[in-house]
Amino acid sequence: MSVRPVNTDQFAVRVRKMGILWLCAGAILIARLFYIQIIQHDKYVQQAAGTRNVSQTIKAARGEIFGHDARDAKTTLFPLALNRDQLLLISDNRKIDEPDRVAALIATSTAMSSEDAQLLAQKLSQKNRAYQLLIKDVRPEIADTLTEEFKANAIRGLYFDREPARLYPERELFSQVTGFVGRNDQGESIGRYGLEAFFDTQLRGTNGYVKTEKDPFGGWIPVATSDFTEAHNGEDLIVTIDRTIQLKLCEALAGGVTKYSARSASGIIMDPKNGQIFGMCNVPNFDANAYQKVSDAKLFNNDTIFSPFEPGSVFKLVTMASALDAGVVTPQTTYVDGGSVKRDGFTIRNAGDKSWGRQTMTGVIKESINTGTIFAADALGKDLFKGYVEKFGFGKKTGVELKVEESGNVKSLAKSGTVFLATDSFGQGLTTTALQLVQAYAAVANGGLMMKPTIVYAWRNAAGISTLEQPHEVRQVIGKKAADEMTEMLRIAVEEGHGRLARVPGHTIVGKTGTAQIAGAHGKYTEDYNHTFIGFAPMFNPRFVMLIKFEAPHAKYAESTAVPTFGEVAKFLLEYLGVRPDKPIEALDKKI
């Protein structure tokens, strides 16, 4: 065998080539490492951190809302707005093979309407949707049934998720007081209307935040204090409204709307000594749990604070109490009524075109005589009358803790014509809210001292510690002497005048009726009327002031609608609050 000689020159060339290749590969590797580790260092650090770091918001629990028993100093609570988890039915449409069959199965199990079943099928047919919300707030027993159906039919791509939700156990009873929790444009939960909106910040609390890293097994590594912010849950709100009183008030209003064929009704019950509101209701209302189904957004408004109206003769209390306080009239001051007066070319008449002849100021309130109230307003004069109306709180929001409150319109007080003073004196030509009127009557019931209306009884923090809300005095509107004189005049209006159906055996009820023509478009009056009665009881040491109002009932005067409804609720209240009779119990003459 012969040995082939090695060409050392060729071998050396090949070695050099290999060396050059290795050098080039090393240079490329070094350049790549330089590019990754130096040039794009920040990018890859962020990518690594993204797979290792965890950042999460810790959501605060929303404070809950409770009512309390007006008779119980220890505060028996009634839930009005609670937190709960709601089940959501979710689909991954990429895994849904037969959307129509799946929709039919779900619709059958949930007793869904044919229209909703069609919408469900359309949602399931959107093939590229990885997350499709099908049904909100699925009841647990329905969820169990659906889960079994999905298993039995080998249906993939459907599952249940949970999210926090608000529950209103009383449904319609408190809806225009509590409002509801909805979502803003960013998808965040936010209070809408009523208490939920007014106290959204306090109820919502403050979210927390955690920033940490995962270990190789996916567990969280303990974090430094600087990387953790604790969530602070919202405070619980305890309101002054008593569920039993609210239920009776709303039932009476609803019954009155049906009985008198009224368009709507409103009612307020308030303690004149501290301004606490025991009841506040409007008919119609809505179910706060199903606010999305409300077709008319006007139902979200609380008419007792949102919808000013011309009050009519219930406003005569303001005029007469002011004149008494100013000393320009007394209860015995007389004038001669001719049935009408003329102002600026306008003729202003009494209700029913009646003429009462010589009358005292007490008779003016008893018979609700327009010309007599004009007489008292003239005695006051325009400037003094305007000052008293403003002292009584009209033209300004009461400040009650609810969204959304209106201030009413008393701009006519500043107009120069004498006709405006005349019509304003008996509550036509200016507007007020129901709560403003209750606040004014409460001031008279409280010896002339006005209290700020409030719906807040207490706040309770996460530790269970409650902070009671303190009453707030607004001002001394009139003196006690004038308040007592006005109260006696209101007593006569109930005992002998148009308020007789408000009487309760064994108790002295005081109050005033109001029947006011409703203004329509362009300031023209319609053929419809608002019927209102406002009163308080008992006469001495009153426990409550109450307003009852019906819009456009099919009856002529408030004495046949608002007055008997007031009497019905007043009888219940006096028994419920344990008020002892202040006079002998006698049968009442129900004739008007």
The answer to whether residue 448 is domain-embedded is yes
Residue 221 pLDDT > 70, yes or no? Answer: no
Mean pLDDT score, 68-73: 81
The answer to whether residue 588 is domain-embedded is no
Domain range spanning residue 554? 243-576
The answer to whether residue 377 is domain-embedded is yes
CATH of residue 432? 3.40.710.10
pLDDT of amino acid 462: 80
pLDDT of amino acid 59: 78
Selected residue with higher pLDDT from 512 and 23: 512
The answer to whether residue 103 is domain-embedded is no
The answer to whether residue 13 is domain-embedded is no
Nearest of 361, 353, 301 to residue 335 by alpha carbon: 361
- The 3 state secondary structure assigned to 257-298 is HHHHCCCEEEEEEECCCCCEEEEEEEECCCCHHHHHHCCCHH
Q: Measure the CA–CA gap between 434 and 302, rounded to whole angstroms.
A: 10
pLDDT in tens, 230-268: 878 889 999 999 999 999 999 999 999 999 999 999 999
pLDDT of amino acid 571: 97
pLDDT over 90 percentage in the chain: 60
The answer to whether residue 155 is domain-embedded is no
CB 436 within 8 A of CB 394: yes
pLDDT of amino acid 224: 57
pLDDT class of 113 with cuts at 50, 70, 90 = confident
- The 3 state secondary structure assigned to 162-179 is EEEEEECCCCCCCHHHHC
Residue 165 pLDDT > 90, yes or no? Answer: no
The answer to whether residue 460 is domain-embedded is yes
pLDDT class of 592 with cuts at 50, 70, 90 = very low
The answer to whether residue 197 is domain-embedded is no
Cα dist from 228 to 49, 214, 218, 331, 462, whole Å = 18, 15, 19, 71, 20
If one counts the domains in the chain, the total is: 1
pLDDT in tens, 18-65: 777 777 767 677 766 666 666 666 655 555 555 556 666 777 889 999
What integer best gives the mean pLDDT of the chain?
Answer: 88
Mean pLDDT score, 413-429: 93
pLDDT of amino acid 226: 55
CB 524 within 8 A of CB 550: no
